[in-house]
Chain A
Amino acid sequence: MPHLLESRRLLKDFGGLNAVDHLDFHIDEGEIVSLIGPNGAGKTTFFNLITGFYPADDGKVLFDGHNLLGLSPYQITELGIARTFQTVRLFQEMTILENVMVGQHCRGRSGVLGAVFRPPRYRAEEARIRKKAEEQLAFFGSRLGGYRLDQMANSLSYANRRRLEIARAMGTEAKLILMDEPSAGMNPKETEEIASLIGKLRDERGFTILVIEHDMKVVKGVSDRVVAMDYGHKIAEGTYENVANDEHVIEAYLGRKATREDQDAS
């Protein structure tokens, strides 16, 4: 079976610095893969390449039989890849429901005329978008449901903003969700919840998940496979135990983490 997502010798060159250096990577359907590595290793850049934020300089990204390179971000989303951001980036002045409904945008077709005249087709589509969005939010229980549906996204607490970002990504009906440090800034209890949420997303909703994570407990808990990166290279790959004990990985983390703590490639 072909991989769901595969990158071949993917290269991104930031003026002499190869942020992603001929990276070979793959993820299969139904897998949860964690991407780890010290700050500046090129993890987020890798995400940005996959989702079309940056153009790649060389290599290939294949998703579900399509070559993603050269496509616009919205086209890639339409094919079935959604993502969340390391720093939460919601549509602040839109309601929670609307945020997720925007996620459904690429699954709709209606345009200006439909919006103005509202034929039955438009109404049906709008009802479907709404229903789908509510479904995604229902996944998070009362945290994002009920009266909160019509609240502005900026009225949410930090943890709920992160959850809403995930709901929005789910709303695109993606096959693959890329999560960029979903537990960043959360307290231990919330981090635990995120970890179990990631598992549920795969088990109950059938998403394939690629997650960048620094919290090793989360990585250990959720990952089927762990890929470690440093300087744009893949330095180790395998189960959590294998990777955690890999000497390259230990070397990459020790002695460097302290000096680069405050920076990240993104």
Chain B
Amino acid sequence: MTNSKLKLGIRMGAYGGVATIYLCLVGIIETFSDRDIITGIISLGHTLLFLTALVTGYLNMQQVDKLINPAHQVVEKAPKPKDTIHSAVAGIITGISLVILVLVLDRFNIRDMLVNASPKLFELLLLEKGVTPTMVSLLPFGQGLAAGMLRLVVFSTVLGLVGGTLYLLPPTRRRSIMLGIAMVVLLGLLSDLMRIALNKPGWSEGFYKLIYTGRGLSSQGAVITLVATAAITSAWRYIPDSYTRVISVITAWLPTWIRITLASLLSVSLLLRLAWFLGIENVYPPILPDCPGLITSNISLTNCTEWISQGLSAPQESTEGGLASSAPAVSAAITLADSLMLLGIAASIFLLLVRTVQMSMSSDIQKWPAPPLQKLERAQRLVTLYLGVAALLFIPGVVGVYPSEVLVMVGLYVVMGLGLNIVVGMAGLLDLGYVAFFAVGAYSMAVLTTVDASVGGAQLSFWGALPLVVVITGIAGLLVGAPVLRMRGDYLAIVTLGFGEIARFLALSDWFKPALGGAQGIIKIPDIHIGGVEFVGPQKLYYLILVSCLIAYFITARLKDSRVGRAWGAMREDEQVADVMGVNTTAYKLLAFAMGALIASVSGAIFAAKLGTIYPHSFNVQVSITALGLLIVGGIGSLPGVVVGAFALVGLPELLREFSEYRMLFYGAAMVIMMLVRPQGLLPSARRGHKLQGNERDQDDWMRIAAESEAAGSESSG
């Protein structure tokens, strides 16, 4: 046994070594070493290098666990602490692999073959570069080649050991530590974004200064993040409960009129903000009024009157024009609503406190009579919905321009993903040419609305053109669907892949040049208006995208749970049987293609109006692959999964620009890992995941009852 564990450790260590050497030689370590995770302490490159050793140790322990607990064994044995020695072995082997790399880099010039085997990488590996001078002086074993190699081996060993130990921790603690590390890395990565979002005058600045320096996460910030994440994860299971309790207290003890007043004040302040942002000024009003004393929560009546007077005289500079004249009034109204709301909240808290004291003094035993369950559930749903909507509406103002742009891209892919989810996830038709519908939507919008006289000519407005675009793309869906009706699986995928390319080549072709502009594309696509509001810039487009996402989500969610959705499901599971059970599979296939197409067309139409110019090259196979990829990452068939997948595959790479060079590599790796580790996706079709666990519980109950009632159950066999 020990022997096989040792072998395992060596093997895992070799895997880890190969992985790290690979990371070094493709240049990731070097590229990422320019980015600090914790300022002055560790760069992303080194984090990655060390994480590999840590993960190797962890995975090794997992394998040891599997080794001593074969599948057929009934009683589970826990791996013993002394088994971590094998993780250390894995760490040593990883370290030795790196040392071999260092030696090769030292002796031979392999840069002709491997461009990334640079002198810088050599220095990084010896931990002499990429760390600050103070850190260098703290590192053990001093300078030089031998010292550096020794350091590599020792560090890897220790990290392997730590990884192994991590596996042995109880799951809750392990999870909080791992999430803590992940949070630190994430916050370190997002430091630029955070600077844009938070480092501006107001309440957020203090928060930013707390955990960030100008360059990145501060060491103090890293510690705070670790502790906070660990605390939140360990408290996590109490949070939903306390949330429910707070709501139940509020519904039980605050008079209805106060609740309604508060909610309407919040809505008024929110809507006024939106009106201000969308129609009057291009600047988003601050989330909370900038008033002295708010941060120190020193809310007094004088402060509030001060705000109100401030608000009433507020915007000194406003743009010219009819709308601008209403700016001071709106701004004052916002401040007034905010002030009233804060007053109301303070009053309610005071009221609740008084009630608590009253109750604790009275002899009544039932202190907090819970409201009826149904009422409570409704209240909770309402509050959650309300808070969710409020948060969604606030986002662009909080995060600023660039992140809003990213959100707009994510939103476009969410809409597309929801459409593709109908075709692939619900109806089970593998479509690799989905970009075709996106392109048809974008191009038909462009042709119908462009003010460039050389193409088009209809010059409709966005809203005038949108219904036509949807119809045109729906028909395109039918046209693509019809010839592939008899195809299934791989064949269907290949043919649709072809269709996707055909769409692009048609747009490129000379034949269609008079209508579609050829390689130059179509220019001068007007912006989107609603009344006097121009949806220009990502912060405003965000709202448009948000609405289309919500509509697409609503439609797909309702379709999923309906006669149509069941017919698609049956077709996905077994087309022949679906047919025999009375589903007209021909019609439903075409319907799936058409529905998927017309949802994609909305995304395409907004895309065209957003850019103002479209080229055939925007519609390459990459778009189809990403759309399909986000379904796979999120979990095929799952609607929340589409959103998660879009954030993972579109949002993250946009935010982490360093990754752009390696984007495809990470896509590939993510896909492979997903398929191996979590084939059901990050957020599997909620029902399915829930039911899988539910099944076990139900089955246990049922087995118990069955065992009690009858001895021989022929049922449970098979």
Q: Which residues of A contact B (CB under 8 A)?
A: 51-53, 72-74, 77-78, 82-83, 85, 89-95, 98, 101-103, 105-106, 108, 110-112, 114-116, 118, 122, 125-126, 129, 143, 147-148, 150-152, 155, 157-160, 168, 172, 185, 187, 189-190
Contact = CB atoms under 8 A, between A and B. Distances in A.
Given A91-B573, A151-B695, A102 B714 contact: no
B77 interface: no
Interface in B561-616: 562-567, 569-570, 572-574, 576-586, 591, 595
Nearest to B715: A157
Contacts of A151: 691, 694-695, 698
Interface of B: 554-555, 558-559, 562-567, 569-570, 572-574, 576-586, 591, 595, 688, 691, 694-695, 698-699, 702, 714-718
B573 A93 contact: yes
Given A77-B580, A110-B562, A150-B691, A116 B567 contact: no
B576 A53 contact: yes
B582 A152 contact: no
25 contacts: A53-B576, A73-B580, A82-B580, A89-B577, A94-B569, A102-B567, A102-B570, A102-B578, A105-B566, A105-B570, A106-B581, A111-B563, A112-B564, A114-B562, A115-B559, A115-B564, A116-B559, A126-B563, A143-B715, A148-B698, A150-B691, A157-B717, A158-B718, A185-B718, A187-B714
Given A101-B566, A168-B581, A92 B573 contact: yes
Contacts of B583: 74, 102, 105-106
A72 B580 CA distance: 9
Nearest to B579: A73
Nearest to A158: B718
Q: Which of B555, B580, B695 has the most CB of A within 10 A?
A: B580
Contacts of B694: 151
Contacts of A72: 579, 584, 586
A78 B688 contact: no
B562 A74 contact: no
Given A74-B583, A103-B581, 19 more contacts: A72-B586, A77-B580, A78-B582, A93-B573, A94-B573, A102-B570, A106-B583, A108-B563, A112-B559, A112-B595, A114-B562, A116-B555, A116-B559, A151-B695, A151-B698, A160-B715, A168-B581, A185-B718, A189-B714
Say what secondary structure dominates the interface of chain A: helix
Contact of A102 (B581, B595, B695, B715): B581
Interface of B (DSSP majority class): helix
Contacts of A187: 714, 717
A5 to B, nearest CB: 16
Among B562, B583, B702, which residue has the most Cβ atoms of chain A within 10 A?
B562
B570 A126 contact: no
B573 A172 contact: no
Contacts of B717: 157, 159, 187
A239 B488 CA distance: 45
A105 B554 CA distance: 23
Q: Tell which of A53, A114, A147 has the most Cβ of chain B within 10 Å.
A: A147
Contact of B570 (A73, A94, A115): A94
A118 B558 contact: yes
A132 B558 CA distance: 21
A106 B582 contact: yes
B240 to A, nearest CB: 23
Contacts of B585: 74
A187 B717 CA distance: 10
